[in-house]
Amino acid sequence: MKVHHLRPVPGANTAKTRVGRGEASKGKTAGRGTKGTKARYQVRPGFQGGQLPLHMRAPKLRGFKNPFRVEFQVVNLEKLAELYPTGGDVTVADLVAKGAVRKNEKVKVLGTGDISVKLNITVDKVSASAEQKIVAAGGTVTVAE
């Protein structure tokens, strides 16, 4: 006995009804009813009889997505004051280690909140108000290119 000798038990499989093959066997309308568009040929799903279809009536998405946009992760001064209570050097790698930002993304420092300790900050971008407050507290700002 080989695999290619295997056959279903007689009577287990019934032959598929072949419609539209003459009057003797399910001929005539072949399960399509009588007359009309759907009896003559296939109408695609969603066809609305010539009316403007829904997918064309719906409003389209406007505008475009700028492929050159640079997204920064923001860190406010109040967060830096919380993370560095004694001051020190602030780098992107250090912020990633402390869980303030995600790795491999650019970081921008914004000026919300106050800072009273001396911070030497090296990040990708700093807002003008943040830079003023950091320098006023005795710190330095370096923008990494």
DSSP secondary structure letter of residue 63: S
Q: What is the pLDDT of residue 72?
A: 95
**Tokens representing 83?**
């993370």
Report the sign of the C-alpha dihedral through residues 14, 20, 22, 25, in that order: positive
Q: What is this structure's pTM? A: 0.58
- The helix (run of H) or strand (run of E) holding residue 53 is none
pLDDT at res. 28: 86
**Pairwise CA distance, residues 117 & 136, whole Å:** 10
Contacts of 145 (CB under 8 A, 6+ apart): none
The secondary structure element, H or E, covering residue 56 is helix 54-57
* CB-CB neighbours of 107 under 10 Å: 23
Taking the C-alpha atoms of residue 92 and residue 96, their distance in angstroms, rounded to an integer, is: 6
Topology (CATH) of 73-143? Ribosomal Protein L15; Chain: K; domain 2 (3.100.10)
Cβ neighbours for 18, distance < 8 A, ≥ 6 positions apart:
25, 26
Q: What is the pLDDT of residue 145?
A: 66
**117: DSSP letter:** S
Predicted pLDDT of residue 40: 87
Residue 73: phi and psi, rounded to 5, are: -85, 135
Entry field: residues in the chain: 145
Question: Tens of pLDDT along 66-119?
Answer: 999 999 999 999 999 999 999 899 999 999 999 999 999 999 999 999 998 999
pLDDT band with cut points at 50, 70 and 90 for residue 126: very high
139/87 Cα distance (integer angstroms)? 9
Using one digit for the tens of pLDDT, what is the confidence trace for 21-65?
Answer: 888 877 888 888 889 888 888 888 888 888 999 989 999 988 999
Domain boundary assignment for the chain: 19-48, 73-143
